[in-house]
A and B are shown apart, each in its own frame.
Chain A
């Protein structure tokens, strides 16, 4: 049945070469944990992506209940955490996943660094990776404010003070991020927009570039 549907589509659109390009490639021996167990360090990039997928999915479902408004933000989080069936699990996935992305991304960076995989001709992919690092830190920072509790509020107070400490553009950066002089209604709306539209958009674009380059250039050779 599935095969017939696939053949029907393939006959018309010739999709086999497309997914072959994406999915069907040799895994070199030195990155295959079945050959050398220590090669599991090559899994960290894929694991980072896996957790990012969980973050995107759980985040999409959380926005069904969350409202980015200073009156109702905390109550809506409380409601989805305590009243909605499995809301606690989904928010838990997003909460713990957020830390796990950073951990996995850090391990992936260490592996790339210690295997020297950033060297010519892969410098550009390292640059994109560093941009991804900043985008994910930004997602963590903006997402931290959204529950609108004391921890969220004061973490953002501190975060914006750090931004203000930047020379010359500091005050401008703080007001731009906070959406005004007060950390309040406009800050929350702004952080929500950045967290669910701007940064995920940038993240997907950069991930596309990251994956395109690794497929084009291949995994770096053994040590």
Chain B
């Protein structure tokens, strides 16, 4: 920038400085408000607690069993108990706890309710199907396996934690 050619008029100077100072003040005013509005999106999720489902390790078989339990949900200033369910099944010796929420559009799946496919999870909404280990059956609407609860065994009893996606 050559100093000879670039002359800043008094009016321009005032426009720049006033816009700058004004913009700085507006930003200082809006920054805390915007940060406050963005807080839920920026908050780091906490690890959920493990909840006993009243089922012992020995009771888990290769036949999926439905367990119902309640979990404490913290929703801002509101704390409540939410009923949740899981399908607990033993696959190759490992215990798997599957979420009953269909990965297509969120309906609830059930085990063996479709007479044509008695050994599969079945979703009545759009006929989505899942294998015993939660893998989605190709050619049916769901595009990924059923979500999975974190499983912990304490003193022989099954405890379930957060729900995680697979695959």
Contacts and interface: CB of A to CB of B under 8 A. Distances in A.
Nearest to B34: A61
Contacts of A61: 33, 36-37
B77 A57 contact: no
A79 B77 contact: yes
B76 A90 contact: no
Given A54-B29, A57-B29, A76 B76 contact: yes
A64 B37 contact: yes
B32 interface: yes
A84 B77 contact: no
A103 to B, nearest CB: 19
A105 to B, nearest CB: 20
Contacts, number: 44
Nearest to B29: A54
Nearest to A87: B36
A76 B33 contact: no
Main secondary structure of the interface of B (DSSP, over half): helix
A34 to B, nearest CB: 12
B32 A57 contact: no
A183 B87 CA distance: 50
Given A61-B37, A64-B37, A86 B32 contact: yes
Contacts of A64: 36-37
Closest 9 A/B residue pairs (Cβ): A79-B77, A86-B32, A75-B77, A89-B32, A61-B33, A86-B35, A86-B36, A76-B77, A84-B39
Interface of B: 29-33, 35-37, 39, 42, 76-78
